[in-house]
Amino acid sequence: MLAVPICIAIAYVFFYLVLGNPDNFQGGNVANHPVEEGIGKWFGTVYKGGLIVPILISVLLICITFVIERFLYLSKAKGKFSGAELVRKVQYHLANKNVDAALAECDKQKGSVGNVIKAGLRKYKEMISNTDLDTDQKILTIKNEIEETTALELPMMEKNLVFLSTIASVATLLGLFGTVLGMIKAFAAMSSGGAPDSAQLALGISEALINTALGIGTSAVAIIMYNYFTTNIDSITYAIDESGFTLTQSFAANHK
């Protein structure tokens, strides 16, 4: 959560000190039009977008921050190799009744699927020597262990995705809100200035549309990355479900 105020602070510093640098405006006065060439022209134009611009920059930075955080976490959650490959290896070792080798494969994988299978295999190994429960009860015990471990893994994978889903909706609305304010300001300036000035109107519209561009761009990044992450989570979840089915079926077949 500390990332949010930090992103907001960086956005406002960037807006006022970089975009609002007097060198980006004619005569060194931010009240004037942006300079006519160079990077200062673009910085000055974005600054003229109004007070909604730093809010949109904050939202963009927050989006990028959580995209990086989720990318790093899910890369780790996927492990050294795919969950599907791990399931195949575990199936092979269990078919040969070599639980220790299957556990070793989980240690090599080092992902969420490996964590779930490892917990299931430990219970699997415990149930082999258990004489107090019948086969169905042992299978249910293994299944419950897998479900409990899965319940701990999934929330961590889905953590912070709510920020991306919220940004995907809010960024566009903020952009449109800034555009409307800019258009109101542009037409108000024209109405009080006597004869319409097409150049002034065009400048006002371009400044207002800066908000739309930032809003739509931020929303697009959030939507694309949200879908990318949920797809990755779904594939991990599928591998976890497959691993649970593999362990219970293996136990039923090999330890009746």
pLDDT tens-digit readout, 21-53: 888 888 888 878 788 888 888 888 888 888 889
- The answer to whether residues 113 and 79 touch, using CB atoms and an 8 Å cutoff, is yes
| Residue 195 confidence (pLDDT) | 57
Number of residues that make up the chain: 256
| Residue 236 confidence (pLDDT) | 87
Helix ranges restricted to H, the chain: 3-13, 39-47, 52-78, 83-95, 99-109, 112-128, 135-158, 161-191, 198-254
Instruction: Render pLDDT for 147-205 as a digit per residue (tens, 0 to 9).
Output: 888 888 888 888 889 989 999 999 999 999 988 887 887 777 676 655 556 666 776 77
| Residue 50 confidence (pLDDT) | 82
Identity at 116, one-letter amino acid code: V
Instruction: Render pLDDT for 81-107 as a digit per residue (tens, 0 to 9).
Output: 887 888 888 888 888 888 888 889 888
